[in-house]
């Protein structure tokens, strides 16, 4: 049986909000056992002594139906009693931690302290949240993404994005290059029929995964389709557009996405009007997927596109 | 100047609720710099990966005016959003952690992980809560109190008190004997004119402090006044009365208190009707101090008693 005759085994490579929404669509469309999600952990950081994995959390909350439709972080309807008390005691409230959200960070930190790997801790949290598809952190080792600004300051990604509100211009992004992908991540890539690069920020969500030993080779060997994180030259959410200008001195566009992923991309999904002259197959369709029904539609179209063209 | 001519330097030795209320009265009556509180940490335990010090918390919350007047734990008006979410995810809610309370445990755990001693972490939390008198944990080392039941099971104190609701009969209490008192604790005792044993459970609140190296010697050398934790043979709060029966096979009474502290007690404060034939001076007065004004009254009477008789 060729790949074309059966539903493909899909690996989704994802970062924050856009990635989580694409994953939610694939999750609805693909049968049990056919989807594995590899999630960026380059944004992980420690706050209040807790291990916080923003991208894992966003993916898990989205799949569990807990994520707000609009806001790109945390749990819908969460309260902020702990944060309010921390403020009353003079704490710096730069990072918004909700009360329900906090349970995730407590569980993770506690599991890690007890000797679990991040992969195991994530699986335990997924079970509690009723998530049945494997959500794999890219690595069990710390691999912090560092933002280097145009005035040559280095800072952790969350410090740049949240504390500094993404204002300082970025000269380059350094991924934590000495960390290894987990055996589960490499195993999932080895078994994949199709790898989907979700509409996440290539610099800070996808590249940290690509940069891990062994991952780039699998991306070259496998059918890879990316969904553009840019619509009409603008990022749907987050700081990507200004990063393209300041890092690559290029116009942010679908063309830039194709160039950035040059050498291993087998298909690219772009928004209507973003089509351009290109050697690889393009699918031009609405890639705005804030609403759940659009996530499902895009997932179906993407899988159909991959099946017919690759 | 003799001790009688000036306000005494007081060290209060305290455990849970009764101790905290006595400390609150002394705190109101004594001038800045004249009161140091030594608090039991034998009940400390880890929950959700957080370092919880129930007796330190009760003393701090009481001094900060945050403790409920009735309930013996936590913060008045606290919410329980984190606990509710933990329950929703299948967590065992055996220990009630409030959202505001949680900030204390997060701060403490974070400070300890960053290399602070428990003494330093406590001082930092006290500063945040606006508490100016020194609150000293008895030790910076773990010294867990172990309850041995009459059917020869050993369990941590919180497991026995909270999880088992104090139901299994206690045969004996083992204090964490290898831990050391801190230099600050021994220094405060050395400088004290008067040591007050607060109306806390002698077995599980006072004895763990007494059992630390060097403390018992200071108690023999100093003027020591205890406030009975029993009123008419009953504990005001907590499991003391049944422990007296099961551990010492005695009637719980003020007389038992005097016997328990035999050898270093210079005065004992008992409730009206609890007077008994005794070689040491007794002060017979209302020792029910749930209300703030009663705490202040008792503190004044105790200091007057100590000044005139010792």
Q: Provide the pLDDT for residue B177.
A: 66
Q: Mean of the pLDDT values across residues B5-10? A: 80
| CB contact (8 A) between residue B110 and residue A85 | no
Please, what is the average pLDDT of chain A? Answer: 93
CB under 8 Å to B108, separation ≥6 — which residues? B50, B51, B52, B53, B118, B121, B122, B125
CA-nearest residue of chain B to A104?
B86
User: CA nearest A212: which of A40, A12, A16?
Assistant: A40
Q: What is the ipTM of this complex?
A: 0.88
Share of chain A above pLDDT 90, in %: 85
Please, what is the average pLDDT of chain B? Answer: 93
Residues of B in contact with A109 (CB under 8 A): 49
Q: Mean of the pLDDT values across residues B25-44? A: 95
Q: Provide the pLDDT for residue B5.
A: 63
The minimal CB distance from B49 to the residues A89, A100, A109 is found for A109
CA-nearest residue of chain A to B46?
A110
| CB contact (8 A) between residue A106 and residue B81 | no
Q: Pick left, alpha or beta for residue A44 (phi over 0 → left; psi -120 to 50 → alpha; otherwise beta).
A: beta
| CB contact (8 A) between residue B48 and residue A106 | yes
A103 touches chain B (CB under 8 A): yes
Q: Which of A82, A91, A113, A126 to mutate to test the interface with B (most CBs of B within 10 A)?
A: A82
A116 touches chain B (CB under 8 A): no
Q: A209 pLDDT exceeds 70?
A: yes
User: CA nearest A81: which of B89, B91, B77?
Assistant: B77
**Chain B 242-281, residues with CB within 8 Å of chain A CB atoms:** none
| Angstrom distance (rounded) from CA B35 to CA A217 | 68
Q: Mean of the pLDDT values across residues A186-190? A: 97
Q: Provide the pLDDT for residue A91.
A: 85
- Tell me the whole-structure pTM to 2 decimals: 0.90
Q: Provide the pLDDT for residue B236.
A: 82
Q: Could you report the per-residue pLDDT of A85-120, keeping only the tens digit for each? A: 999 999 887 788 999 999 999 999 999 999 999 999
A77 touches chain B (CB under 8 A): no
| Angstrom distance (rounded) from CA A229 to CA A165 | 20
Q: B214 pLDDT exceeds 50?
A: yes
| CB contact (8 A) between residue B49 and residue A113 | yes
| CB contact (8 A) between residue B99 and residue A82 | yes
Structure confidence at residue A288 as a pLDDT band (50, 70, 90): very high
Q: A2 pLDDT exceeds 70?
A: no
| CB contact (8 A) between residue B113 and residue A49 | yes
The minimal CB distance from A89 to the residues B49, B79, B128 is found for B128
Q: Could you report the per-residue pLDDT of A160-173, keeping only the tens digit for each? A: 988 888 999 999 99
Q: A10 pLDDT exceeds 70?
A: yes
CA-nearest residue of chain A to B51?
A110
| CB contact (8 A) between residue A109 and residue B82 | no
Q: Provide the pLDDT for residue A1.
A: 37
Distance from the Cα of A180 to chain B's closest Cα (Å) equals: 26
CA-nearest residue of chain A to B90?
A128
Q: Mean of the pLDDT values across residues B242-246? A: 95
Q: A4 pLDDT exceeds 60?
A: no
Q: A32 pLDDT exceeds 90?
A: no
B130 touches chain A (CB under 8 A): no
Q: Could you report the per-residue pLDDT of A64-91, keeping only the tens digit for each? A: 999 998 888 899 999 999 999 999 999 8
Q: How far is CA B48 from its chain centroid? A: 24
Q: Provide the pLDDT for residue A48.
A: 92
Packing angle, helices B118-129 and B99-113, rounded to 10: 140
**Chain B 45-74, residues with CB within 8 Å of chain A CB atoms:** 48-50
Q: B68 pLDDT exceeds 50?
A: yes
| CB contact (8 A) between residue A102 and residue B82 | yes
Residues of B in contact with A102 (CB under 8 A): 82, 85, 102
| Angstrom distance (rounded) from CA A189 to CA A195 | 8
Q: Could you report the per-residue pLDDT of B108-119, keeping only the tens digit for each? A: 999 999 999 999
Q: Could you report the per-residue pLDDT of B256-282, keeping only the tens digit for each? A: 999 999 999 999 999 999 999 999 999
Residues of B in contact with A107 (CB under 8 A): 48, 89
Structure confidence at residue B1 as a pLDDT band (50, 70, 90): very low
A157 near A174, Cβ under 8 Å?
no
Q: B93 pLDDT exceeds 80?
A: no
| Angstrom distance (rounded) from CA A97 to CA A192 | 36
């Amino acid at each position: 049986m060729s790949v074309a005759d059966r539903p493909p085994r899909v690996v989704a490579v994802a970062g924050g909000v856009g990635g989580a929404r694409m994953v939610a669509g694939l999750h609805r469309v693909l049968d049990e056992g056919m989807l594995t999600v590899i999630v960026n952990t380059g944004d992980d950081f420690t706050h209040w002594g807790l291990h916080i994995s923003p991208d894992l959390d966003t993916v898990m909350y989205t799949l569990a139906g807990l994520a707000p439709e609009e806001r790109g972080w945390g749990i819908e309807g969460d309260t902020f009693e702990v944060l309010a008390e921390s403020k009353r005691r003079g704490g710096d409230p730069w990072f918004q931690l909700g009360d329900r959200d906090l349970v995730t960070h407590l569980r993770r930190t506690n599991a890690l302290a007890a000797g679990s790997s991040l992969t195991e801790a994530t699986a335990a949290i997924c079970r509690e949240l009723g998530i049945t598809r494997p959500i794999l952190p890219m690595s069990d080792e710390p691999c912090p993404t560092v933002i280097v600004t145009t005035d040559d300051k280095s800072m952790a990604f969350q410090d740049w994005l949240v504390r500094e509100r993404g204002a300082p211009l970025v000269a380059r992004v350094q991924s934590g290059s000495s960390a290894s992908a987990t055996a589960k991540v490499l195993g999932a890539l080895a078994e994949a029929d199709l790898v989907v690069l979700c509409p996440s920020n290539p610099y800070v969500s996808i590249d940290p995964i690509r940069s891990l030993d062994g991952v780039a080779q699998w991306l070259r060997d496998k059918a890879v389709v990316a969904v553009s994180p840019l619509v009409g030259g603008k990022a749907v959410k987050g700081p990507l557009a200004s990063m393209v200008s300041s890092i690559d001195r290029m116009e942010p566009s679908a063309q830039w996405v194709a160039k950035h992923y040059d050498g291993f991309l087998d298909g690219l999904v772009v928004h209507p009007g973003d089509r351009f002259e290109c050697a690889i197959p393009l699918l031009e369709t609405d890639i705005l997927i804030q609403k759940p029904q659009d996530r499902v539609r895009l997932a179906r179209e993407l899988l159909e596109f991959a099946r017919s063209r690759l």
